[in-house]
Structure 1
Amino acid sequence: MDNEILKYRQRLKERAAQKPIWEKACLTIEEAAEYTGIGRTKLRALVRQKKCPFSMPTGNQILIVREKFDDYIKGRKRI
């Protein structure tokens, strides 16, 4: 039974890795950096701000909600 669960998890990870970044609803810091060209250090500083409108903490990892992040970028002249 455990082996089946591990195989299923692996298939889910592989499927998620094949999905283009612009189709993903949530991005990691690394994916967001690749998607926007903004550096990882700057992205980490942005998501650490209080009331960040596009970050979503999930345990140890912080995800960026792509649509909200796109809106945030469009509303700024400079980041």
Structure 2
Amino acid sequence: MTALENEIILHKLNRIEKHIFSLKPILNVEELAEYTGFKKSYIYKLVHSNSLPFSKPNGKILFFDKSKIDEWLLSNSSKSNIEIEQEAIEFALKKK
């Protein structure tokens, strides 16, 4: 195999691995870092400040519920201009 073929295979394996992580309901720190793109040090910082939902069943290893992480990632969202305009129109129509 050529170096290019090896690189293509490695790229495809990485994509498969990322897809598998997205199917798991429970993630460890390494998997969460891969899933979110956050560095592990940042994840530990979020855990230390209790900003990120986590479990520590045996007192040592951290686990993360993917559904809770997804909720956390999407919290504090900002509305687009179109959404704001639509809400303003709906509010104005209700006032009539």
TM-score tier after normalising by the smaller chain length: 0.5 to 0.7
Distance 1:20 1:55 in 2: 20
TM-score (norm 2): 0.53
Distance 1:76 1:28 in 2: 24
Higher strand proportion: 1
RMSD between aligned residues: 2.2
Higher helix proportion: 2
Structure 1 stretches of 4+ moved >3 Å:
none
TM-score (norm 1): 0.63
Unaligned 5+ residue runs, structure 2?
Answer: 1-18, 78-96
Contact preservation (8 Å) 2:24, 2:66: yes
Which structure is richer in relative contact order (CA contacts within 8 A, separation 6 or more)? 1
What's the offset of the Cα at 1:53? Answer: 5.5
Counterpart position of 2:42: 42
Matched, 1:21 2:21: yes
State the aligned residue count. 59
